[in-house]
Amino acid sequence: MRIIRTRDYNHMSEHAAAVIAAQLTLQPNSTLGLATGSTPLGAYVRLVEMCAAGKISFAQVQSYNLDEYRGLTHDDPQSYHHFMWENLFSRVDIDVTRTHVPDGSNEDAASTCANYDAAIEAAGGIDLQLLGIGNNGHIGFNEPGDEFVVGTHCVDLTESTIKANSRLFESIDEVPRQAYTLGIGAIMHARRILVIASGTAKADAVHAMCYGPVTPACPASVLQLHPDCIVIADAAALSAC
């Protein structure tokens, strides 16, 4: 695990975008694993700018998102599909037919998850997986628990995750209580992993991820075992390290 300390959120975003841009330059047909939430927004802004300037291209890229709320359709403004369309897919030269987000509208969890795993396997796996980290150490929606779940699965969101995500909804009551998420196995099979973190609220989780025991009580700690994992975090997120 390689840790890169940055000054602040903007500096972190610049470094993260540079890593993704380098991936696309070296391997234009990369399969990217993408994340949502406030943390990657700055990196996406910079990637959009680089694409508009002709410095990078997404034309040969295919992507698989980490997760999606169960019960939300793709066109729901709170869905992660909509988030990706608004913040990246509609602003770069990616073929939208080659972008993939778990189908939150499919109530059949078993088929939704199995199909998503099969699609990633058929694509040859993920070349670069972008991750954020939750305040409780979750990656994707893999919440703290008694075991690492390997495949894509439906998860009951913890109260801390629901509270953290409620800032994006009009009220906490509107936050879905379940989500489909890529499993730890698929994440760990990515050839390279990029974790980004910002702010003091993430400091304890980042410390546990980098220096704590490998335990499903902090799902991100498993990343210590990955052969090519880069952590880019600002000084606040690394303040406990």
* pLDDT tens by residue, 44-76: 999 999 999 999 999 999 999 999 999 888 888
pLDDT at 169: 82
Q: What is the rounded average pLDDT for all residues in the chain?
A: 95
- pLDDT at 129 exceeding the cut of 90: yes
Strands ordered across the beta sheet of 178-181? 67-69, 178-181, 153-156
pLDDT at 173: 83
What percentage of the chain reaches a pLDDT higher than 90?
Answer: 86
Q: Is 3.40.50.2000 the CATH classification of the domain at 2-234?
A: no
Element housing 195 (H / E)? strand 192-197
What does the block give as tokens for 142?
């893999």
* pLDDT tens by residue, 143-188: 999 999 999 999 988 888 888 878 778 788 888 889 999 999 999 9
pLDDT at 153: 95
pLDDT at 157: 84
Q: Which residues contact 185 (CB under 8 A, 6 or more apart)?
A: 148, 149, 150, 151
List residues with catalytic annotation. Answer: 67, 136, 138, 143
- Which of the pair, 107 or 24, is modelled with greater confidence? 24
